Amino acid sequence: MSESDMAIIKPEMMKSYIWLETSDGSIQQVEQEVAMFCPFICHQVLQKGAGSSKNNAISLPQKVNPAMLSLIFDYCRFHQLPGRSNKERKVYDEKFMRMDTKRLCELTSAADSLQLKPLVDLTSRALARIIEGKTPEEIREIFHLPDDLTEEEKLEPLKNTMDDPRIRLLNRLYAKKRKELKEREKLKSIEVEEHVDERSVDDLLSFINGRDHKVVNTSKSKKKNKKRKEHKNGTCKVSNKDSHNLHSKQRSVDETSSSLGGVSNLHNIEDDIFSRKAEFEDGYIDDEIDPALKEMLDREVEDFARRLNSSWVLSVGQERQPVHFSINGNGDTRRLTGPAARHK
């Protein structure tokens, strides 16, 4: 080999690499200056002397999968070069941040576990820009988050110390009921699914009191009494699925103490519903349901739903209104005062 060849090859051979192992067990090596840009890897190398060989590979935190790792190293590779201007870096960063929300979240977690603060800042700002100006429902949709807050927690955004799972379950059911009623208003012409869902919620409420074995029977009996045609399979599935959810909950419900202090309003309403259910319990077992009882139950659940609905919707509506309604002349300001007056 000539001198010039050696000169070309040598720098490559002299470059040192660091060995890393990701959560899925795969091992790779990365240029030292790139990897050392991450504080986590830096500490591992300096304090534990790890990463020098394949056997001694640094095991990376769980949240760092290979895809994210390669993204992170792209970032590091660009930024660790001191010769870059601020403008160049800024342009690169903006381009780098263009990815879907899922990857942004993954990247944020990964960067955080590698303690790469500048990247965490970048991704956090990008996520904040996504969240900005959106309603809770929209945010939930984008981030695929569950709607697991009680109505109270939503209305009064403070840390909720009352953690009774029974109350949470109840609220979830009430929320479900409200949603169904809303859908019913929208789909007035389509009659198939409504009563099925309603029945299953009522079943669940009585279920909480511990009368599980009657669920399947009662749902079937209610079906017979409906004037509308339904698909048998569909309804069975709905009620069975719900009863399965309840099976697991029932254990915890029975075991938790019955003290519901602190949520007085909810407590009263809960009691009301439960006592009424107990009264009409026998009515459910029979194959014929007295239409009058059915009417009463319907009204009662709707009433409660309306109460929940009005205060919840109003408060959320008020919150959004100040941002998006402006002074647009006589007609539109009246719109603002309308619901505001109702709220008081």
Partner 1 sequence: MKTRIDDQSKPQTMIQEKYTKRYQNLKVAEALSNNHLYPFACNELSSIIDLGYSQLPKDLKAFIFRDCLSAFRLLPDMNTSAAVSAANLLVKSVESAFPKQKKNLAIVEFKQAKVALKRRTKGHDEHIDLPSLPQDILVHIFSFLDVYSLLSSSQVSRSWNQATSEGSLWRSLFDLHFSHKVSIHIHPGFDWREAFKNEYILYKSSKMLRSGRGYCSYCDSVVWHDNLRCPKKQCRLKSGKKPLDLMLTHQVVNYLLGTTSSSDESDSEDEAVRGLWAYPTLQ
Cα 57 from chain centroid (whole Å): 36
Q: How far is the CB of 281 from partner 1 (least distance, A)?
A: 25
Near partner 1 by CB under 8 A, which window of 24-32, 178-186, 199-207, 330-338? 330-338
Dihedrals phi, psi of 31, to nearest 5 degrees = -55, 145
Residue 254 or 272 having the CB closest to partner 1: 272
Cβ proximity to partner 1: between 88 and 141 the closer is 141
The answer to whether 219 touches 200, Cβ cutoff 8 Å, is yes
Smallest distance, partner 1 to C-beta of residue 163, A: 10
Q: Which stretch binds partner 1 (CB under 8 A): 71-79, 108-116, 206-214, 220-228?
A: 108-116
**Binds partner 1 (CB under 8 A): choice among 74, 138, 183, 303:** 138
CA distance 115 to 112: 5
Q: Could you count the other beta carbons within 10 Å of the beta carbon of residue 207? A: 26
Shortest distance, position 201 Cβ to partner 1, whole Å: 18
Candidates 84, 125, 244, 299; binder of partner 1 (CB under 8 A) is: 125
Binding to partner 1 (CB under 8 A) within 78-107 occurs at: 101-102, 105-106
21 strand-pairing partners: 27, 59
For the chain, how many helices (H) and strands (E)? Answer: 16, 3
| Rounded Cα–Cα distance for residues 212 and 254 (Å) | 13
* Residue 154 in contact with partner 1, rule: CB under 8 A: yes
Select from 265, 279, 290, 299 the one that contacts partner 1 (CB under 8 A).
Answer: 265
Cβ nearer to partner 1, comparing 25 with 157: 157
Rounded distance between C-alpha atoms, residue 104 and residue 108, angstroms: 6
Which amino acid appears at position 278 of this protein? Answer: A
Binding span for partner 1 by CB under 8 A among 8-16, 123-131, 201-209, 229-237: 123-131
Q: What gap in Å lies between CA 114 and CA 42, rounded to an integer?
A: 10
What's the closest the beta carbon of residue 4 comes to partner 1, in angstroms? Answer: 49
Residue 230 three-state SS: coil
Interface map 272-301 toward partner 1 (x if CB under 8 A): ------------------------------
Q: Is 305 in the site for partner 1 (CB under 8 A)?
A: no
- Using CB under 8 A as the binding rule, the residues of this chain from 15 to 74 that contact partner 1 are 63
Residue 82 is given by DSSP the state: T
Cβ neighbours of residue 140 closer than 8 Å, sequence gap 6 or more: 146, 147
The angle at the Cα of 295, spanning 292 to 297, to the nearest 5 degrees, equals 110
Among 87, 98, 159, 229, contact with partner 1 (rule: CB under 8 A):
159
Calculate the alpha carbon distances from 120 to 102, 179, 211 in Å.
Answer: 15, 37, 51
- What's the min distance (Å) between Cβ of 162 and partner 1? 12
- 260 membership: H or E segment, kind and range: none
Residue of 286, 295, 303, 319 interacting with partner 1 (CB under 8 A): 319
Residue from 108, 200, 206, 243 that binds partner 1 (CB under 8 A)? 108
DSSP 287: S
Is residue 146 near partner 1 by the rule CB under 8 A? yes
Q: Which of residues 162-181 bind partner 1 (CB under 8 A)?
A: none
Q: What separation, in Å, do the N-terminal and C-terminal C-alpha atoms of the chain show?
A: 90
Print the binding letters for residues 187-226 with partner 1: x by CB under 8 A, - otherwise: ----------------------------------------
- Take residue 281 and report the two structure tokens written for it: 């319990």
